[in-house]
Amino acid sequence: MRRAWLKLTTSLFLTLAAPLAAIPAQAAAPAALRLWRLDCGRIQMNDASPLSDTSAYAGQTRRLSNGCYLVQHGDDYLLWDAGLPRALLDKPLNNQPISATLDRDLESQLAAIGVRPEQISRLAISHYHFDHVGQAALFPRATLLIGAADLAALRAGSPPFADPSLLAPWLTGDGVTDPVQGDRDVFGDGSVTILAAPGHTPGEQALLVRLPQTGAVILSGDVAHLEAQLAPRRVPTWNTDRAGSLASIDRLAQLAAALKARIIVQHDPEDVPRLARFPEASR
């Protein structure tokens, strides 16, 4: 009986510890590890009620930011998310329930820091929604790192809020696609890790970047759209899996506590100043 109890206790401990143990320990930081926050648009929600399936935002409005992020790792560049489509450049926000606009495209912002689109070797996306892949086709030579479940959903059809044509170079077989199962240590040294965070979409991902001076940063993807959603664990109505969404919120919160990391909610305008202001980079 005692042996069976010990076996059960050990198994339960290993199951609960697995998510944290899966995160690689950080090796010596590369000589050049930098993170830029890029402006990938603005979204006006004149009806913010979809941000919570418990009516927490009923009758309210919200203005959302839309951040993309460039990671330099030595001579390699990884782009995290590709923002709103260029067709929305200079479009006015309107009185529809949700409207979006783009002030600057990715190509012009990269040019401002001396980076050419062809230098982006990896394009990692948090999920397949159009506001996160809108300018992906600017980087057809990049390897697309996408959650395997999101890739399967795109290949099976056109999920809500997705426009597969925005990922045409990879869905047609012209581009190199790297489906991500679980977590992924991108460069093999623990400095940049894709985190599995399903719920918003089946293959939703977040990104952990361990900067040598700033410290650890977790880019949220759409695990949350506002900081105010995290503590009360508010789940949007459009998420594909409520239980998965809650588990992913909890996971990011626990990781942030364990690693003393700051969570950057990509759609929250209040989080924009938490990283260096473009064209400066966080180091």
d(CA 184, CA 24): 9
Residue 27: per-residue pLDDT? 54
Residue 16: per-residue pLDDT? 37
Q: Is 281 within 8 Å of 36 (Cβ atoms)?
A: yes
Q: What are phi and psi of 159, to 5 degrees?
A: -65, 160
In this structure, whether the domain defined by 30-274 belongs to CATH 3.40.50.1440 is answered with no
d(CA 282, CA 273): 11
Residue 24: per-residue pLDDT? 67
Residue 179: per-residue pLDDT? 98
Residue 111: per-residue pLDDT? 98
Residue 28: per-residue pLDDT? 53
Positions of the chain with pLDDT lower than 50, given as ranges: 1-18, 21, 29
How big is the CA angle at 259 (ends 256 and 263), to the nearest 5 degrees? 30
Point out which residues pair with 44 in neighbouring strands: 63, 99
Residues 6+ apart with CB under 8 A from 114: none
Residue 160: per-residue pLDDT? 96
- pTM metric for this prediction: 0.90
Strands 262-264 and 143-147: unpaired
Q: Is 23 within 8 Å of 255 (Cβ atoms)?
A: yes
d(CA 142, CA 149): 20
Q: How many alpha carbons lie under 13 Å from residue 102 in its C-beta half-sphere?
A: 23
Residue 163 three-state SS: coil
Residues 6+ apart with CB under 8 A from 121: 76, 77, 78, 141, 142, 143
